[in-house]
Every structure is written in C-alpha cells, then in structure tokens.
Structure 1
Amino acid sequence: MLLRYLAYTLTVIWLIHALWPTPAHAQQAKAHVSQCQAIAAATPAATFASFSAADATPVASADTSEVTITFLGHSTFLIETPGGVSIATDYNGWFRTPSPPTVVTMNRAHSSHYTLAPDPAIAHVLHGWGDNGEPADHDLVVGDAYIRNVTTDIRSGFEGMERDGNSIFIFEIAGLCIGHLGHLHHELDESHYRQIGRLDVLMVPVDGGLTMGAESMSRVVSRLRSALILPMHRPMTNDFLAMFGDDFDKRFATEPSVKVSLRSLPSRPLIYVLQGV
C-alpha cells in the first residue's frame, strides 16, 4: 500500500514538472519580428532607394508582389494585399468599400477618424488609443499582412496633450513597409523613429495646421525618407509641396489608386497626390 502511494505521488510530481510552462515555452510565443525595424537598424544611413528582395525580405517573390492603395476620402485609404486581405485606415464608416474590409484602423482625435459602431462583418477593428488605460499595442498577423502601431500624443482641451491618443499604424506587406501617420499632432522624437523603422510608403496628413503646420510635417516626412509619399486629410497640398526642394519629385495622379511593389518604388522620393485628395 505504501509503495503504491509512493508511486502515485512520484507520478503526479513528474506530470506537474513535465507540463508546467518553462521560459523556453514562453519564448516560442514571442511577437512577430518586424522586417521594417530590422532593416532600418541594419542600414541606419539608408536614403531613398529601390530595395531589392535580397535587401528587404527573405521571401523570394515579395519584390514583385503588388499592393493596391486607394484613396477613399479624408484619411481613409483602402490597402489591398496580394493575398486578398483588405485594410481601411482611419475608418469612420462614411467611405464605403466594395465589401467589408478584413481590418480597419482608427484614431480618435476627431469623429472623422473613427466609429464606435463599425460593420460587424469587419473581422479586426484596431483602435489607435488604449481601451484599458494603457497605450494601444497591436501586433497582428492577418493573412499576408503584419500590422503594428507606434503611439503618439494628441491635443486635448485647454491646450493640453492626451498621451498615446493617436497611433501611427504600420503595415508590412510583400516586403513593403507602409505607414499611416493618423492624426499626428507633434513632431516625432528619436524613440518614435526607432520604433517605426523604415517606411517605403508614407500616408501623411496635410491640412495647414489641424494636425501640424506644413513646415513641421515636412520635417517628419524628410526624416522618414520614404520613397512614396501619399498626402491625405485636407486639400492643402500646395503649401505642403512648397516645403520640398528639387530632391523630391511631385506628381498629381489621374486615378484614386496606385499599385506599388518593392521593385517598383521610385528611386527618388515621390510625393504622389492621388485623385480626390
């Protein structure tokens, strides 16, 4: 009887030890690794370039896969991935997509940048602000898209600032690093730039001061060194364009959409104003 009890006890102890999570198990659940941050860290002095697949991604075919970006209105773009994932930025429900997007991102500086009653058919609704008193922290893989965010502050009443009320959403798709600045109210510091990493495509609010003045916003754009810059928000593009010299190309599109791949990125930075902005 004593031997049977001892054997039972040893078996229980062995099972607890075998099944109890260890640090090694926890490490396997770590967050997705950002290629955009890794490449920026490896090449900190990089300037505008058409990156090859060898430079940017371990996926051999990623450099020719095209992402379609369509301006829908205000700060809402529809991003469509090669794998069929659709993402609507600063989604407010006003600008309709052909079918419910797979993912929507939001910011709450104004009601034109979010809705609290999104279409229930949307699989993933990502708030740029924290819902639990903590900063928003997104690290999401959906199909062939990896989505993360970097928080910034927004203006609140009485000239104060609300910490972490806005998110810069970053979409890593087909080797491309695509960033949407949201409703950015202040210039970024070095910690923001480190968290963002490289951005090949940048969606930037242009409004003469509702977010930031053209001069401040132009400094952010110049520092991010993106190859393709897509203005949004309000039709104040002339003042914004005037902030950039001959080292930037400027062009007005005849369509609301642009197709872009890692290989087709312009060799000089291009400010490309999509139809409807």
Structure 2
Amino acid sequence: MLLRYLAYTLATIWLIHSFWPEHADAQQSPPPVSQCQAIAEATPKATFVSVTPPGATLAAAADSEVDITYLGHSTFLIETPGGISIATDYNGWFRPPAPPTVVTMNKAHSSHYTLTPDTAIRHVLHGWGEDGEAADHDLVVGDAYIRNVTTDIRSGYGGSELNGNSIFIFEVAGLCIGHLGHLHYELDDSHYRQIGRLDVLMVPVDGGLTMGAESMSRVVSRLRAALILPMHRPPLIDDFLAMFGDGFDKSFATGATVKVSLRSLPNKPLIYVLKGM
C-alpha cells in the first residue's frame, strides 16, 4: 500500500511539472541578487564604504579586471572579463570600435540617448519608462548584472518629470559600478538604499546643467565610492575638484582607459580624471 501511495504521489508530481504552463515558471523565477544592495537594505542611513564582499566567488574574482574607457560626454565603455561590452548614455556620437553588447540611455538631453541605435546592439536599456511607468531593468548578460534606480528630472516651465532619469548600476567581477546619468536633484535615503555600495562612480560635472558643484559633491561624498570618474563638461573640472578636501585624492590620467579590480581599488577615495575629460 505504501509503495502504491508513493507511486501515485510521484506520478502526480510528474504530471504537474509536465503540463504546467511554461510562462508560470518564468514568472516564479527569482530575480537576480544584488551584491551591492545587501548592506544598504540593513543600514538605510549609512554612508557606504567600498569593501571587498565575502564569498568564494568574489574572492576568486578579486584580480579580474574590468576595463573602463571614457569615450566622450557621458559615454563610458565598460568591458567585462567575460567579453561583455556596455556603453553608458549612448547617443550614437561617441561609438566604441565595435557595437557594444548593451547600451544604456537617459532622455534629459539629446546628447544622452538616440532613438536610432545600431541594430547590432543586443540590449538597449532606456532610463525612462513608457506610459507613465518607471523604467525597471534587471538584466543578466554574460558575467554582468545591470539594474537601475530612477530619479526625477526638471521639465519645462519649472516643473518636474517623474522618473525621467536612471542611475544605472553594473555589477561585474565583484565590483559595483554606478553611472549617475543626468542627475537633476540630490538623492534621498530611498535612492541610497536602492543604490547600495558603489566601488566606481561616474559623476556629471557641469556647474549646474545637472546639479551645482556643491550639490553634486554632497552626493559623491555620501556614496563614498573608491574610484570616482568625472564626465560631461570638461572645462568645469577644476571647480568640481575644488569642492573636495583632504579626504579625497585627485589625479589626472594619461590615457582614456582605467583597469579596475576589487584588489586594485584605492583605499582612499580617488577622483580620477580620464584623458578626454
């Protein structure tokens, strides 16, 4: 009797799995787990310091290098150890040598997006949503996990557009890399919780087209990334650097590319101005 009961049970389980609609499995698939948010959820008002997260996988990846190249304006090319290439705020003007795997965009200005990207690009991620909904990206491609945190932007006649900008976060080789996009307003605690720890931060410097230097410096200080890469408006870089005291190192690179790994991150936050910026 017991054997017959077990046989019926196993047969029932097999039938359920055989005939269950495929889309239901997809809906129940767990979302990717963010290593960068783990600390943030537990300490919502903390200032996050770049640290090497525990775990065998991350320890093995400590020497894996990510190449970051400044192409111009707000476009960086991120190249992962697994061969994935990502272009930030892609506008079609500053193009890498080959079509990237993924591009991210923001619509605050035409210099931050294009509606006619190269058809060879596999994933085009808009930082703005459709039909009034906020953009929501959780993309795993190769060895990279890409997600976004939306922020409001200024609109005409002194108004605001909800969720018109996205801060894109790229998690690869144990690193948390954040691109602020076209940030118009200072972040609140909710934003910081969603962003979490950042090791590398790409920050707009423009004297007020996004935010003034003082406001942007407060955001940079709160995020406390180990490596800070300015972007956007080169002539104003000296004014931006002047906002930071002895708690930050500053350096001008001789090239447009920096190689980054968990092990090579500076112990003291470094504002590193890549060639071309």
Calculate the TM-score normalised by the size of structure 2.
Answer: 0.88
Per the alignment, residue 113 of structure 1 pairs with: 112
Which structure would you say has the larger Rg? 1
How far off is 1:264 after superposition?
A: 0.5
1:53-82 Cα offsets, whole Å, 9 max, x none, are x53673432111000000000000000000
1:133-163 Cα offsets, whole Å, 9 max, x none, are 2100000000000000000011110010000
The 5-angstrom pairing of residues 239-254 of structure 1 reads 239-254=239-254
Residue identity in the other structure for 2:146:
I
Residue identity in the other structure for 1:264:
S
> C-alpha separation between the residues in 2 aligned to 1:40 and 1:71?
29
How far off is 1:27 after superposition?
A: 7.7
Contact preservation (8 Å) 1:56, 1:175: no
The 5-angstrom pairing of residues 1-277 of structure 1 reads 19-20=19-20, 28-41=28-41, 48-49=49-50, 51-52=51-52, 55=54, 58-235=57-234, 236-277=236-277
For 1:64, what is the secondary structure of its paired residue? Answer: coil
Contact preservation (8 Å) 2:49, 2:197: no
How far off is 1:39 after superposition?
A: 3.6
Residue identity in the other structure for 2:193:
R
Contact preservation (8 Å) 1:172, 1:178: yes
Contact preservation (8 Å) 1:253, 1:272: yes
Contact preservation (8 Å) 1:202, 1:229: yes
For 1:179, what is the secondary structure of its paired residue? Answer: strand
> C-alpha separation between the residues in 2 aligned to 1:28 and 1:17?
14
> C-alpha separation between the residues in 2 aligned to 1:17 and 1:55?
36
1:6-55 Cα offsets, whole Å, 9 max, x none, are xxxxx99x95797457xx95785021010000144467756545x34x53
Greater shift after overlay, 76-85 or 129-138? Answer: 129-138
> C-alpha separation between the residues in 1 aligned to 2:232 and 2:215?
16
Contact preservation (8 Å) 1:183, 1:211: yes
Contact preservation (8 Å) 1:252, 1:273: yes
1:199-227 Cα offsets, whole Å, 9 max, x none, are 00000000000000000000000000100
Contact preservation (8 Å) 2:140, 2:146: yes
How far off is 1:96 after superposition?
A: 1.6
Contact preservation (8 Å) 2:66, 2:79: yes
> C-alpha separation between the residues in 1 aligned to 2:239 and 2:171?
30
For 1:239, what is the secondary structure of its paired residue? Answer: helix
4+ residue runs over 2 A deviation: 14-21, 24-28, 39-49, 54-60
For 2:194, what is the secondary structure of its paired residue? Answer: helix
- Residue segments in structure 2 that go unaligned for 5+ positions in a row: 1-10
Contact preservation (8 Å) 1:48, 1:269: no
> C-alpha separation between the residues in 2 aligned to 1:145 and 1:254?
28
Contact preservation (8 Å) 1:229, 1:271: yes
Give the length in aligned residue pairs.
Answer: 262
> Considering only aligned residues, what root-mean-square deviation do their CA atoms show, in Å?
2.3
> C-alpha separation between the residues in 2 aligned to 1:131 and 1:48?
35
Residue identity in the other structure for 1:239:
D
Query: In percent, how many aligned pairs have the same letter?
Result: 78
> C-alpha separation between the residues in 2 aligned to 1:15 and 1:178?
45
Greater shift after overlay, 127-136 or 73-82? Answer: 127-136
Per the alignment, residue 4 of structure 2 pairs with: none
Residue identity in the other structure for 1:86:
S
